[in-house]
Chains A and B, each alone.
Chain A
Amino acid sequence: MKSDKPTPETTDVKDSSRRDFLKQSTLLTAVAVTPVVAIKAANDHMDEHLAAVFEKMPLKMEVNGKTVNLSVEPRSTLLDILREQLDLTGTKKGCDHGQCGACTVHVDGHRINSCLTLGIMMSGKKITTIEGLAKGDQLHPMQEAFIKHDGFQCGYCTPGQIMSAVSCIREGHAGSEHEIREYMSGNVCRCGAYPNIVNAILEVKDGGFAV
């Protein structure tokens, strides 16, 4: 829940007055519509649509090997863009504060918390989410190992754990059980699958699988 903390005056004025402005202004000839049409547009919430166009920025990035062209608000996080706009809901929201790791994805091959990343920062980047880890029907070895060692119960932190686990090996941080535990501690699992997660990572590491 949002607390009713004070809102910056400027923001408040801008947003609350925009519709009134559209309703009253004759300057709208500048955007080639008559005031009467503009007022009707305001009543129909068209002003919001118009404003929405100006508030958004283009974003071109590659997600799971496909180029996506989006128009996003600068304040939208990569996590919310993935989940709400691209329907890639495998990436999870667990805290929205970078404290739990459920939203872990790979950006140009490195793990990041997508909840702490604004979408517009991703222009030109290559994003891999859990949906893009398998090769078609063939699961990634880490996905296979998580199933084999039961590296989860409810499954909610699992996509983030797996994306982190792959990075953990790629980074060279899977040298021992101890090291794996340290470098996997940014991913919280409330069901308590940690020992199984470690076993899964060890199997992939020791099995010499390409990750």
Chain B
Amino acid sequence: MKKAINVTMPSSAEGMSRVDGRLKVTGAAKYSAEYTMPGLTYGVLVGSTITKGHILTIDTKAAGRAPGVLAVVTHLNSPKVPGDQPEKGKPVPDKGALKVFYDNKIYYNGQPIAVVVADTFERALYAASLVKAQYKAEKHITNLPDNRDKGFAPRGEGVYKRGAADAWQSAPFKVEQEYIVPTVTHNPMELHAIIARWDADDKLTVWDKTQGVNDTRDDLARLFKIPAANVLVHSQFVGGAFGSALRTWPHEVAAVLAAKVVSKPVKVVLSRADMFTSVGYRPFTWQKIGIGATADGKLTGITHEAAGQTSSYENFTEGPVGVSQNMYACPNVNTKYNLVSLDIATPTWMRGPGEATGAFALESALDELSYAVNIDPLELRIKNYAEVEPSSGKPFSTKFLKEAYQLGADHIGWGDRKQVPRSVKQDGWYVGYGMGSGMFGAYRSGATVRAKMMADGTLILQTAVSDIGPGTGTAMTIIAAEQMNIPADKIRFELGDSSLPPAPTQGGSATVASVGPAVVKACTDLKEKFQKLIGNGGEDHPDYAKVLKEHNLPSLEVTSSSDGGNGMEKYAMNSWSVHFVKVLVNAATGVVKIDKVACVSDCGKVISPKTARSQVIGGAIGGIGMALMEESIIDHRYGRYINNNFADYHVPVNADIPQIDALFINKPDPIINVMGAKGMAEIALIGMAAAVANAVYNACGKRVRDLPITPDKVMG
């Protein structure tokens, strides 16, 4: 397998720079909380201080009389949210999104019980401290491990079996272990924020942090029973999200309600503490894996169980056990996925949802098995390489993971790895190497793009997609520049506005794969329109401005759509990754230092090398945070987060991170779309935490199965 392969490893300066870079480095990029408008007021939420029960009384008098206060909205005086009211003749669903200011029931600590609106932020913040509630508290449960017996199989998920169940047990070499991924919070740097303004009784405009302007529009239209066309959602710049802005949250509804009450625009910006309770998180998940192999390292069976937490009012599901079904060729696989309802807010998808959780367990278990059977972990993976999708038997559209393994191994210096832990010690630090692999479905959905060529030769592209940071506008501009054969600086990509042609929500690593084909289609259609204008024999790439001038036209435009593709009917489609990590573990303190990282992505063709590299590095750093430091801790006596700030909830900082090598196989997938490009956001993180954990074990012989790998656990 040592064949030459055309690998791409861009440097940080290589490739086209971001189209919105100048706006971002000058402070001119406007995020949701940064719009000014006449009469703008400020809303501050008041959270419940109990975890379960109901409100007995709520005293808003002092807050209401505080200087500058315009309104205090609670369940006692809130306008009704029409979409939350029971419909005649229809059964009331027993589960669903939290209904804001609906009644006196409390489902989690920090649940909004009031919003105070004032003329300045300071006055609203102070007045919010004056709202007093008395509660009737009930016994709450917030601890998953103690309540795993209350688990239930969510609808449509649950049990999977291929071959014989629990076949691993009869294998000559086997491992059975439990793994914990704790609650991890997205914590994008931008605090979630919304400005809500009613322009008429049935017309609403919001500037909102969202990954999907159309989803937000549809949610608000449904909740307030107004036509979707009357809801305008702006989200031009989104300061990170990682999944936290994939759905409409209570603070958004509260802001819209408050704006109705005061008949003025209301801005609500969450505090950092609110970010832990109000906009989802990666759910605490318990897992158990049993895995067995023959003496020559062939997998005979995998059993993967998982129990993830959800709220009491809503079932949130993801796919932690899916990786065990399809990552490796194994004849016998059975999986089971349960939910446990706790008195906490509903979790949501966080980068590499489910798969990242599952891959930590599977890739750790595989590493443990490699020691049990005494085969190099990389070799063990190659021995069990899946050439077709194990669960369906379908061929993969493309899969170059074997090449990725080899590249990453060469790059990290895998040959220097010793199979026996604690073999290498330098200056008081144990040296170890680890690897972890990831996969994620290569999804694609329909999108529509308007392409308009202006008289001065500027091409304007418009679609209602969001860009939470990966550089969607940049990638789309690169695609259009190639299609139209014009310089990138003559292209303007407009996004983040629900009135633009529809595009999918930014999530599931599907934006480039979905919107890209629509850009290609729009460019193709626009060129055709130019051809028709020119008549027979026109050039494929004419001087567009000249043609418009000759025909005395101010502009020429098309609106074109692409569908979701049908590749998945015949093919299994995924992006793949492998992460190699070299760590140093301090023998005296248990501190883990990341010394070197090499990540290889097999995600089809790379459209934008500079931003792709950044995305992979960012995913790796997210994985390092998950591995070494991130954990949202609840004091179960009170059901409240105790480290809900950046001093106590640790995320990687600059000093934690070395240079990271991001390598790309960069071979197009001809099935996914016309560009051959698949997603890379999720795979950049999936498998990374296991790579770190495996390297720590290789370094010092300590296997940590409950994240994060803090020094106390390494020393313990």
**Chain A contacts to B: CB under 8 angstroms:** 1-5, 7, 12, 15-16, 18-19, 48, 51-52, 55, 73, 75-76, 80, 83-84, 87-97, 99-100, 102, 129-131, 133-134, 139, 143, 146-150, 152-159, 162, 177, 180-182, 184-200
Contact = CB atoms under 8 A, between A and B. Distances in A.
A97 B617 contact: no
Contacts of B130: 7, 12
Contacts of B610: 150
B26 A139 contact: yes
Nearest to A189: B189
A153 B646 contact: no
Contacts of B128: 1-2
B614 interface: yes
Interface string B626-662: 0000000000000000000111000111110111100
A194 B189 CA distance: 14
Given A2-B129, A154-B469, A158-B25, A190 B191 contact: no
A177 B660 CA distance: 13
B652 A1 contact: no
* Interface size class of chain B, counting residues whose CB lies under 8 Å from the partner chain: 35 or more
A19 B128 CA distance: 18
A155 B611 CA distance: 13
Contacts of A92: 31, 189-190, 239
Nearest to A47: B67
Contacts of A143: 25-26
Contacts of B12: 149-150, 195-196, 199-200
A87 to B, nearest CB: 6
B25 A188 contact: no
Given A2-B131, A4-B46, A148-B17, 4 more contacts: A1-B112, A7-B129, A153-B471, A187-B654
Nearest to A95: B272
Which label, helix, strand, loop or mixed, suits the secondary structure of the B interface? loop
B120 to A, nearest CB: 7
Given A2-B125, A195-B12, A95 B25 contact: no
Contacts of B110: 1
Contact of B620 (A5, A16, A133, A192): A192
B695 interface: no
Contact of B654 (A102, A129, A152, A184): A184
B392 to A, nearest CB: 34
Nearest to A140: B25
A4 B240 CA distance: 30
Contacts of B657: 181, 192, 194-195
Contacts of B133: 4
B56 interface: no
Contacts of A15: 62, 65-67
Contacts of A158: 24-25
Interface in B130-168: 130-133
A155 B239 contact: yes
B618 A1 contact: no
A195 B620 CA distance: 12
B618 A193 contact: yes
Contacts of B66: 15-16
A139 B68 CA distance: 41
A135 B62 CA distance: 49
Contacts of B189: 92, 94, 100, 102, 154, 156-157, 188-191
- Identify the 7 closest CB pairs spanning chains A and B, nearest first: A90-B27, A156-B239, A192-B621, A1-B47, A155-B24, A154-B469, A192-B618
11 contacts: A16-B65, A88-B27, A92-B189, A93-B269, A97-B645, A100-B272, A139-B26, A149-B13, A156-B189, A188-B189, A195-B659
A102 B468 CA distance: 17
Contacts of B313: none
B646 A95 contact: yes
Contact of B655 (A1, A149, A181): A181
